[in-house]
Amino acid sequence: MKRNTIQPFRAQLADNLAASLVGTLVEATPRHVYGAVSLPGKATAVVGMRRAGKTTFLHQLRRERLQAGMGRERLPYINFEDERLAGLAAKDLHLLIEEYYRRYPALRGRETVTWCFDEIQVVPGW
């Protein structure tokens, strides 16, 4: 992809990343899940019917990790259903990682970052 076509994605991802790391976390009725929610070193996928509370559960996991002492900077949330990210492909996701570690260089290779991707399936090639 040409540099001038990824620039809008870079800026929008940077804005979305910044917004996810400040302000209050979404509060809602807690969701209860039975069984393992995560496995060390593995991605966790939350799947279900529309309007079942998947996004609410994702924010709940972020709140729980924050309450357990994980720093807010280690809990970024990006919703890929944002129309300003339309056309973003999996090969462009490096922009998000680059922006994150530009902001938090001391975390690279030292701390676990819990990336919360909502509606990632809309990104072709994911």
pTM of the model: 0.85
Give the pLDDT mean for 44-57. Answer: 89
pLDDT digits (tens, 9 = 90+) for 54-75: 999 999 999 999 999 999 999 9
In this predicted structure, what is the pLDDT of residue 5?
62
CB 94 within 8 A of CB 107: no
Residues 6+ away with beta carbon under 8 Å from 28 = 53, 56, 59, 60
Half-sphere exposure of 11 (CA within 13 A, CB side): 7
- Pick the closest to residue 114 from 67, 58, 74, 59 (CA basis): 74
pLDDT digits (tens, 9 = 90+) for 68-106: 999 999 999 999 999 999 999 999 999 999 999 999 999
Identity at 64, one-letter amino acid code: E
